Structure 1
């Protein structure tokens, strides 16, 4: 009985707002479908595909596709679920917290996921659907080209045209919303593998190929001008190379190498409910071992065409080069398919379309019959010139264009590099800036090689030479033969690593689920280089000749792994490279001393049925570039493969030449990453300091005993296990990104973390005795650096950074308890602490001002506010306005977030969205120094500023005040004690502690709020910019909040004030931390770990947070204006917390409703007239 492949392919580009659109997802599933149809045409399976694109891919449709389409599969069938789109996360309900350390589910974002009443497809739902399908026994494969939480916005140092991640869904999803409650009673976790982060609950037998690790992003790239997922493009390239006859283990290795050719910092992952399944052949071996060919036929409109196009891997024509095929009779034996003399004709591809290509024939003796069909086999493919986008200084770019025009053979145009205009057609970018040339990938800012100093004639020539060097390397790295028959039973590159059993060294194949990382090991006081053994294993029926080229990330190519360049491998035979000796991984000394700790190289295997000279592929590293070959002096190529190798250096050679043999050949590749940590130095004593490299100096500590070194963000991220960064830090890469101590280059992830080793007394680090780092980096206004760590249970904020002369100082005010990871065990480290650093932008105004300051606020077309505090201008604006709204900020931040909210469209219960700013002619903002200046003094300054712009007593206008937090106390003192009752017609306080706040210090409260945000315990979604405001508060000098302490002299005096006869509205936030966090004791554990930071004692803090509160202020305090007033204060509760009044729709809507209900004038009008 013929097996059936049931495929559910989902691709979503056009998402509903606010989920950002993508570009390559539909292209992905179309290409996968085309390849499956190609394989199925001659395979041992029937094909039933269901494609869901864009609006078709609703949550209901995807679930229905599992149950009613994939669910038809039986024991002999194959099931494929392929998803290309946004991945994300969502808040997990408390019932799943025991499964998720970060209390977040991984999700797939459906077309309608973020609609009211709809949800993402959670990992647990996906697992349950897989389990149902797998119950009948088919071979089940899932391919997910997406990543985890984020915004869909590419961070500055990320590569690719876009990233496939959507913002975390922060809605609270009830557990009965998971597949209609089907998961409530089945929450056992099994089958998960660290890496990709996709849980399987319940378990069903399956394999999963995922685009990246949980702390990485799945990126989009352009392939031949069309957007695709980097992972899907890599996977398809590997499947075309092997014609699908490849194990999942080897497929993952090849895909990883192919991804590395396209982007950095993305490593595909594999998971299997049964790890042995990774040795199985793709789709369970359902694809018959095919003889790759195309069918040639005559089309009355197009002429001669083949049934292969861009989706089948046929590359477009490049200049004079194109794909060449040999044409045979349909009855010709496969053994003759590569013999030119047996061919009826050759066919040159003229035009490539998606599913077919138009060709031009060169017949031998007899014209082909237009009524017949023929077999066409690829024998040569074009080597496309590298498309480069030129941007920057016009004069410098003109010199580059002149260099390109003369760098080719005989002083003609370069044959390796061509200028292209649109970014989507370019593979690389050359930027002329500040007297230098920088080379990067087209959709990235990260430089690939050292900058080229000088933009004159010589600099331009050097830039072109380096681009050509990169082009040769990339052409070799991507070299493949789509017409090869060797791909049916590929030669495997086996990597063996040493293990030690009973003191003996044994060599074992690497774990197929893991990327190949060769890590230096610390032993007997020294770092030992990692070593591997490499074997080539021929699984084919052919005897072959093999070369194994080492493609360094310095763009060098070496054939030295095999003496003489190639070795002979008999059918079903194997051989060790490097003479059977270990191959030692290393990070070059000069790069290591510069702070490079990782290098990533590619092993390129070339297999041919005839001998060839592998040294023709060699080239020096790019920094020592020298063209040493002479095309005229070189020996004539013996085969088409040698001619191809020569063309990688000299495009003046023609693609083919008569008399040469046409051997069958194929390629494979895999990636090796070598990690060499920096040396760890003892933490110095209090009067000393230690240089850690990368412009970082560790200042001494009086008591801490530990060793310290800088590590890469990748290394630190591995310490998080399955976790990525906190969701709030990933959701806005334009606002939050990893802080790197120096800019990375090439594939290096960059030094961005601190590792403390052998920590004996972490409790000695405190706010009173911090551990200090001095960094030679400048922060721009509004930028903050947050140090934090994962302690195995929580993300903990550890301190802050502040600008100092010549750089900045990072202050670590506590350390988590040390732990030991698997990597620590391998390196002989007993325990360690890994500290990450995140750069966050806040909503600060961005410039230092003389405080206090009263400014008139204007808005641009996008609603972005701008401030002008010029006295005459503000006075003129006031004079021409009747209705005025004044914002006064609180202890946190400034008024920028408040004024921005006045132009935000607010969803109301009925009717179109409305804006607060539309209720007024003018918006004013009062900003003041809120740390060292008393509330009374600030209130008097407010009155002075208002008088100076024409808003003194009896001003005759309508002035409403919206004051947040401590700003409400400032406004009350002004109204009740400084004559403001003759100035203000209505006061709205938002989260104001009228009866005080129990938090003893600003830093204490801000640190607790940070911990709540980092661990996702807030009930209200926080924009990451608000996190920046909290970090700014932590940075501030730790000042006690004496005036706001319950029972303080200030609050006592304020409470005795006489009735001002001014209407007050009290907006009270009633939403704090997730109740389950309190009920389960998780919040108590977190607070206890923060107590070294001088936060409230854990018990006191917990008592406060158990009562109704907005995280900073109790509901009772926010309502506590003295009773007995003629105008009773109006109280309105808002479903928001203390820092989200102006960012949440609930807080904004409450303020809008209050201001809409306020009359034109107040009861003190008579006093003003």
Structure 2
């Protein structure tokens, strides 16, 4: 039986005064409807559409709680909105979660109504959407939200400015107030008011007081940008549907959003945003609306930009450098490959150069992917082999063909040693034959060799991210973002933890008979410009987790603070492998990346490798997851801080 797709589509052109009308939102909904009906072979489609006066706040809330709630496990619930976005002043109870003290909001049809006596506000705020999505997630479906409006990168079209050059307008509403935000509402007007009190939000972390449900979000722009429409069409929706049609829907959320980002840059100052909120590893690399696709999302996307030319969405942060001699570009729909060379390499993307003959074969509207020879997102590893030669022969032959792997003699400065034992292959530190780093790989034939090679590739990616830094940084004097660790005391107070040489050392404490502990992490932008910031967690089992912050990459204004896990406690775990092998510390690594340019770290994410002990699979990590001359230009920086928690049993 095919899964269901419950799709709630909302579009508003005509608003009551004083909200100015839009032109393309109803058209956008019609295009979305047409696309879904024409591409519904993989699921049973059930659709509800709210247009103009039917798109009241009450109707949208009911659409979530009644219509979308029909989706269950294995199904997909899609919410699409095209219309105005705005901001409203936040209640003081929410200030610690909103550094600008404002909420992002959708302007429903009855969101702002003006009469002779007063103006009333009935907006659908981002925290209300959070509440609705969490309710919906309890039913078990995959949830996808798409917003073609302004202030959408943080919720969930911008001030209606009179500059409508060439038929371009913005989808944003600002009231005529200096704050450029709608006034704060009485608490009882929030749809969650009966369940969530202001006091609860003042004293508890946001994930506890108002949890978020797992979902994929695609948004037209950053919260500080405008979403544009031109010639009666939303730029974001039009571009998205063009890419979906060009790829026959065989595209991941990641590739879709990345291609859109570069596609729109040529005409509009809007940068589509995407993230997986609370979703499982790799969800961004799943096919759009659950369609099956090939690949893991690690291939490069190639898109044409009128200003920059042909762009590859891989850059210095992904290991791309001048040593890459050529890039092979292939059209998704087939055709002969085309060879390019690398031009300028930026942190998150690169410029491709084509010869005249190759350039004439390219079409600006075509969808292309890049094929690069090894070394991408991988640290070169030196591997020693230890054991009977015949047992290691398949592995040796396999590793000799694997890019980035160098075989060295045992006893030399190897990064890791693969040892052949009677029970199979184990990977260990070079001088620790009895300290496996992963589950033993059973057997010693080709299948075991292939799996060992896959483990080493996984480790090489982890090592690359762990050692990532910018040797050519020139704007920053030190790291531009301050990171602070705090130990949560039994009383709930926070005690600063010293960082010495990029290491933080602490102890476990016994709580209810279990070795545990609680810490919190705070970031502060110390630089004079807005920065894009990400905080990654790397476990000793080779996991890379990019969602310690509210999004994989957040924007931080000068002086702005942000807390990991939205201010929630980070619980310390004592992994069994630390006690079994009498390791002095349980290590965890935090990679802090900051850039003046937008970047993305979704490609970095990877799950942990199987733990050495079968009973240790649920304890894979040490934390529970959850001048007179002024330089100008762009720069990026990375810092690794290691948290060492002492083994209390030795």
- TM-score, normalization by structure 2: 0.49
Structure scoring higher RCO (CA < 8 A, sep ≥ 6) equals 2
TM-score normalized with structure 1 length: 0.28
Larger Rg: 1
